Amino acid sequence: MKRICVVGSLSYDLVMRVPRRPQKGETIIGTSFNTFVGGKGNNQALAAARCGAPVSFIGKVGKDSFGDQIEAKLKESGVDCRFLFRDPELGTGIADILVDADGDNSISIAPQANGRLTAADIDNARDVIALSKFMLMQLEIPIDTVIHAAKLAKKLKLTVLLNPAPAPENGLPDELLAHVDIITPNQTEAELLTGVKVVDMISAIEAAKILQAKGLKQVIITMGEQGALLVDQNSAAHMTPAFEVNVLDTTAAGDAFCGSLLAAMARGDSMENSLIYACAAGALATTKLGAEPSLPTLEEIKELAKTHIPCAATP
């Protein structure tokens, strides 16, 4: 399998289940509380590694017990942590997550050390980037660092996948998009980036083509229970249906999707098969509470993928 280099965020997640998410000024009594390792970069690296891909991580945590727990979990899954840097002043990032009775979540993030991952850190990890075939990034670290990493990755001939989360309301810099091959927004992120409200396949295709007009080769829009839409480099659209599962918590579903998608591509699968595995992984991630515990193994993904029902391509 080809190596995947993940550049991104790591956090310690504080997760509370609530009957519903509170209104402004309202206090809600939670029904449970747990802590997990998280952060979009961390989740995506774990997801890819659990699918058997060789993964290297570039990121930053604090010199604290939260950072220790995150590093231990990454190493446990076989992730190369040589370039997991420690910030001596700021602590590890924190995510405060509320999960309602339907499994939907609201997340507040304090980036902490994530905000200090620099271009110099990326350059220090050049050797491991050069050994990789794919780079996977998100937007929970400084945008200048993301741009620098994407530029270096393209210089070294990597395929770059950007998960544009959280999506900036003022759009993404052209300088970044020029160095991205595949982008994977969800419906909300696609709307923020294009102005198109994505509610069905037709509107998703419209949003995807706006993104492609900015120079992106392939656009994948994840659409929850509707599945995932791909518009490829030939402007052909293909919808991969979602898998039906009992949803408990949607936290990290998108991360499971991205990590398993690249893992499938890294072992040489077609994009069609990679999307089936990614949709299966995303669905399985909703069946357990928390980010890290919900990220499925390759065996679990294969079992669910057997139930896939094909959907015809759309011109």
Whether 245 is covered by a domain: the verdict is yes
**pTM of the predicted structure, to 2 decimals:** 0.91
8 Å CB contact between 143 and 174: no
Averaged pLDDT score across all residues of the chain: 93
Whether 102 is covered by a domain: the verdict is no
Whether 206 is covered by a domain: the verdict is yes
Q: How far apart are the first and last CA of the chain?
A: 32
For the chain, the domain total comes to 1
Tens digits of residue pLDDT in 99-138: 898 888 888 889 999 999 999 999 999 999 999 999 999 9
Whether 27 is covered by a domain: the verdict is no
List the one residue out of 184, 187, 193, 119 whose CA is nearest residue 152. Answer: 119
Whether 108 is covered by a domain: the verdict is no
Whether 106 is covered by a domain: the verdict is no
Tens digits of residue pLDDT in 48-66: 999 999 999 999 999 999 9
Strand stretches in the chain, DSSP E: 4-7, 11-17, 32-38, 55-62, 80-87, 93-99, 105-110, 134-137, 159-162, 182-183, 218-222, 228-231, 237-240
Catalytic residues: 255
Q: Are strands 134-137 and 4-7 parallel, antiparallel or unpaired?
A: parallel
Structural domain harbouring 299: 4-8+39-90+118-305
**Pair of tokens at residue 162:** 């950007």
List the one residue out of 241, 306, 254 whose CA is nearest residue 281. Answer: 254
pLDDT at position 311 over 80: no
pLDDT at position 18 over 80: yes
pLDDT at position 201 over 70: yes
Whether 112 is covered by a domain: the verdict is no
Q: What percent of the chain has pLDDT over 90?
A: 82
pLDDT at position 153 over 60: yes
User: What pLDDT was estimated at residue 111?
Assistant: 93
User: What pLDDT was estimated at residue 310?
Assistant: 63
Whether 141 is covered by a domain: the verdict is yes
Sheet holding 93-99, edge to edge: 32-38, 11-17, 93-99, 105-110
Buried b (16+ CB within 10 A) or exposed e, 178-203: ebbbbbbbbbebbbbbbebebeebeb
Could you tell me the CATH number of the domain that includes residue 214? 3.40.1190.20
Q: What is the dihedral of CA 34, 39, 43, 44, to 10 degrees?
A: 160
User: What pLDDT was estimated at residue 108?
Assistant: 87
